[in-house]
Amino acid sequence: MSDEIRRPNSELWDEFAGSGDAPARLKSRVFSRVNLEQAKEGPLASVSESKGAGRVLCVFENIMEVAPTGDAIKRMNYCRVSHARVLAENMEQAPIWWPGCPYAQFQK
């Protein structure tokens, strides 16, 4: 047991929530790593499921969503093979502007 009262996590969160963002490069790396961990545990949600949940797909995912392919193809980790990932993980202010691209979202 602590001899002192520790600050609640929510208080700590409030303190740091307004103190600035993280570098876009770091967000990109975190996202890519979590994606890899998710893929290790099972198939990712399909692009159709994401779209059905109201999420915005990127141009490439939109094509795959309507393409006459099997479910397994629609669950692939497209971000892994996207040049946007490579740029975003290595550059701050990477030149990515695609709507619906997570790596572009991190640049804002």
Q: Which residues bind another protein (CB under 8 A)?
A: 2-10, 12-13, 16-17, 19-23, 26-27, 29-31, 33-35, 37-39, 41-45, 49-50, 53, 55-57, 77, 79, 100, 102, 105-106
Distance in angstroms (rounded) separating the CA atoms of residues 60 and 86: 16
Distance in angstroms (rounded) separating the CA atoms of residues 73 and 47: 9
Cβ 95 to another protein, closest distance in Å? 19
Distance in angstroms (rounded) separating the CA atoms of residues 16 and 38: 27
Q: Which residue from 6, 7, 108, 102 is spatially nearest to 58, judged by alpha carbons?
A: 102
Cβ 72 to another protein, closest distance in Å? 14
Cβ distance to another protein smaller for residue 9 or 68: 9
Cβ distance to another protein smaller for residue 33 or 95: 33
Q: Which residue from 15, 79, 21 is spatially nearest to 47, judged by alpha carbons?
A: 79
Cβ 104 to another protein, closest distance in Å? 10
